[in-house]
Amino acid sequence: MIEIKVECGGGYGVFIEKGLLRRADELLCAYAGAAKYCIVSDGNVAPLYLEAVKARVLALGAEVSEFVFPAGESNKTFATVGRILEILAGLHFTRSDCLIALGGGIVGDVCGFAASVYMRGIRFVQIPTTLLAAVDSSVGGKTGVNLGSLKNQVGAFWQPSLVICDPDTFSTLPEREYRNGMAEVIKYSAICAPELADKLDGDICEIIKTCVQIKSDIVSRDERDNGERMLLNYGHTFGHAVECASDERIPHGMAVAIGMMMACRVSERLGICGAEVADRTAALLSAHGLPLEADEFSAEMLYGAMQNDKKRAGSKVTLVLPRRFGECALHTVTMDELRGIMIGADR
């Protein structure tokens, strides 16, 4: 079993192994140890894995309940969090009890946010069932919900107590969702691990390990996203704009792929990198079935969607731009400069 330590919050482990769900009770006993658990999942994941996880919790002699909400970004809302909080109150959950997020990034973000506010914070465990959640969203403690069309506008930093990653769960993942996760894997390679790009068809546990180790190192140094952690947002500033403009028709991973290509073009335009970075990035994304552009949205539309970006501070926004493939840097520009750059880069 692979174990990666994350030095955030109280410090916690990310455990990765095929078939690990079958041993979830051992990890829950060692790192959560609650008397009551509530498993939060979505309508696609619950029929596949909820009973198996429930059985492992019952094997601990703990009480277990569940909350299942419909899958999809449109349910990543305050209303869903409110329902979870009401259920926890109805079950007389106390601060020593624990939530379990069983699903992809949406379940993890919603469940983690509920955990962060119930009684001012209770523990939660992440069980990611998508590649995207395994390599990114289940680690690092960003939780939250959308506010209308504004992505992840409301949330909290709230670290899990434990992450249990069983890549066998990806066997039921629609291919499109697997590709979404590959976009985040390629992101890690592009920001600091160029050698990972040559191993994308290798052992999935090793791929997840590499990504989680990078994320763990970065968030352990900058939990609150004040500096280095912003590098993990490569492709996200432009990507969130694509997600918003498409009314969530383009999912997160694909939007990040398009966002990375936009960042490459902006970087090239600013003279920070050469054309070979976009070429290398495009080749990798295409090889994994990911889109490179979203022609239907004009630069004006995307700029409009970026007005509410969380990475904006006053009249400035910090972009993550590549210097070369495998190295990115932060670059702060005014919103007016960004408008000029984007419209110039729209080709």
Residues forming contacts to ligand NAD in the complex (CB under 6 A) are 42, 44-45, 48, 71, 73, 76, 103-107, 109, 129-130, 132-133, 136-137, 140, 142, 152, 169, 172-173, 177, 180, 252-253
* Whether the Cβ atoms of residue 311 and residue 237 lie closer than 8 Å to each other: yes
Binding ligand GLY by CB under 6 A: which of 25, 136, 177, 309? 136
Residue 146 phi, psi (nearest 5)? -85, 155
Residues 6+ apart with CB under 8 A from 247: 149
140 binds ligand GLY (CB under 6 A): yes
36 binds ligand GLY (CB under 6 A): no
| Contact of residue 233 among ligand NAD, ligand GLY, none (CB under 5-8 Å per partner type) | ligand GLY
Minimum gap (Å) between residue 236 Cβ and ligand GLY = 7
* Tokens coding 189: 């390679």
Distance between CA 83 and CA 66 in Å, rounded? 12
Alpha helices in 18-164 (DSSP H): 24-31, 51-59, 78-90, 105-117, 131-132
> Residue number with the shortest CB distance to ligand NAD?
105
Cβ proximity to ligand NAD, 38 vs 133, nearer residue: 133
80 binds ligand GLY (CB under 6 A): no
| Contact of residue 200 among ligand NAD, ligand GLY, none (CB under 5-8 Å per partner type) | none
* Whether the Cβ atoms of residue 156 and residue 118 lie closer than 8 Å to each other: no
Residue written as token pair 């899958």: 71
Cβ proximity to ligand GLY, 6 vs 39, nearer residue: 6
| Contact of residue 105 among ligand GLY, ligand NAD, none (CB under 5-8 Å per partner type) | ligand NAD
Minimum gap (Å) between residue 139 Cβ and ligand NAD = 8
Residue written as token pair 């999912």: 251
Cβ proximity to ligand GLY, 97 vs 223, nearer residue: 223
Longest CA–CA span in the chain (Å) reads 62
144 binds ligand GLY (CB under 6 A): no
Minimum gap (Å) between residue 105 Cβ and ligand NAD = 2
* Tokens coding 179: 């590709």
* Whether the Cβ atoms of residue 26 and residue 17 lie closer than 8 Å to each other: no
Q: In a 10 Å sphere around its CB, with 0-12 CB exposed, 13-18 middle and 19+ buried, how is residue 330 labelled?
A: middle
Bridge partners (DSSP) listed for residue 40: 67, 101
Element (H, E) at 320: strand 316-324
134 binds ligand GLY (CB under 6 A): no
Minimum gap (Å) between residue 233 Cβ and ligand GLY = 6
Distance between CA 273 and CA 290 in Å, rounded? 22
233 binds ligand GLY (CB under 6 A): yes
Cβ proximity to ligand GLY, 140 vs 259, nearer residue: 140
Element (H, E) at 145: strand 142-147
Cβ proximity to ligand NAD, 137 vs 159, nearer residue: 137
278 binds ligand GLY (CB under 6 A): no
Positions in the binding site for ligand GLY (CB under 6 A): 136, 140, 142, 229, 232-233
